[in-house]
Amino acid sequence: MHQKTKEIQKRFEGFLQTSCLWNGNTVYELDQFYIQLKSTKIDLEINENLRLGKYIERFVSYQLAQDLSVEIISENIQIQQEKRTLGELDCIVLRDQKTIHLEIIYKFYLYHASVGETEIEHFIGPNRKDSLVEKLSKLKEKQLPLLYSDECSAYLSTLNLNAKNMEQQVYFKAQLFVPYANLNIQLKQLNLDCIVGFYINQKELKQFSNCKFYIPNKKDWLVIPNQNVPWLNYTDFNQKSNDYLERQFSPLCWLKKQNGEIKKFFLVWWV
């Protein structure tokens, strides 16, 4: 298998193993879209220059195309007002005689108890630049209502579709990370299966001085941790990771303990 194909395959497998962030419509009344793929093999060329969100949309497109119960009507639909782009619809599909506007989201969030008051408000981005509640609000108030705009109606008419007869769903997957000092956090609204690792700061890192480390590139944040990477010792990792922290960027990292156990974690600059 070609090296690039192997990389895509590993990322796709990691994507498939990532759970949806909630079940049904228990969060903000947003309906989760469910799809099963019998084969985890992928046969797809993807532009490596795509940002992660667009890269994952290609995975979802492939996943949808393998499901005989789903017909893709249109993808990546730019809705414009004169020359100004109002927004984009990720996908329109037909399943079980239902036409569905589908928004695709894949995120990484960290649990920070001092932020906000509710479980959902506690989850923030690795660099504190975004949050789960901000993303949900954007979906609810901006992205999904776009379907009912006059400009979108004009586009839908070219497909003989009417927004009134369409459903809206989200395919929202996420990897969640909890503080190392509190690994046993219990979730009530969100899916506990989404918790895949922990986060620490540089001071806490010292307790792992006898471990090995690896910093994957951002596309490989999807990958399930494995042995076959160029591991760094504590000193080299500290030096390399410090370059990220100085830029106020929290890298996702892998940690291999002396017993061979591998963990996924974020090294954060802000605590």
Q: Rounded to whole angstroms, how far apart are CA atoms 225 and 268?
A: 19
CA distances from 132 to 17, 42, 190 (A): 20, 30, 11
Helices (H), the chain: 3-17, 52-65, 132-138, 150-158, 202-205, 234-246
Last residue of a domain, one of 143, 161, 195: 195
Provide the number of structural domains found in the chain: 2
Mind listing the pLDDT tens digit for each residue in 157-200? 999 999 999 999 999 999 999 999 888 899 999 999 999 999 99
Last residue of a domain, one of 195, 219, 253: 195
Q: Which of the residue ranges 41-45, 101-105, 184-188 would you say has the lowest mean pLDDT?
A: 41-45
pLDDT of residue 43: 87
What pLDDT is stored for residue 3 in this prediction?
72
Domain check: are 34 and 146 in the same one?
A: yes
- Residue 100 structure tokens: 């569905």
Measured distance CA(265)–CA(173) in Å, rounded: 18
Q: Judge if 150 and 223 occupy the same domain.
A: no
Give residue 165's identity as a one-letter amino acid code: N
* Residues 131 and 208 reside in one and the same domain: no
| Average pLDDT value for residue range 107-130 | 96
Q: Directed axis angle between helix 3-17 and helix 52-65, to 10°?
A: 80
Collapse the DSSP code of 30 into the 3-class scheme (helix H, G, I; strand E, B; otherwise coil) and give the result.
coil
Model confidence at 248: pLDDT above 60? yes
21 and 107: one domain? Answer: yes
- Give me the domain span that covers residue 219: 201-267
The per-residue DSSP string of 189-244 comes to SS-GGGEEEEEE-HHHHGGGTTSEEE---GGGGGSPP-S-S--B-HHHHHHHHHHH
Domain end point (choices 137, 161, 195): 195
Average confidence (pLDDT) over 36-44: 81
Q: Are residues 259 and 156 in the same domain?
A: no
pLDDT at 1: 52
Q: Are residues 169 and 258 in the same domain?
A: no
pLDDT of 38 higher than 80: no
**pLDDT one-digit tens code per residue, 64-98:** 999 999 999 999 999 988 888 999 999 999 999 99
190 and 251 together in one domain? no
Same domain, 12 and 96: yes
Residue 112 and residue 19 in one domain: yes
> Do residues 13 and 146 share a domain?
yes
Whether residues 94 and 180 fall in one domain: yes
Q: In terms of domains, do 47 and 106 share one?
A: yes
pLDDT in tens, 196-237: 999 999 999 999 999 999 999 999 999 999 999 999 999 999
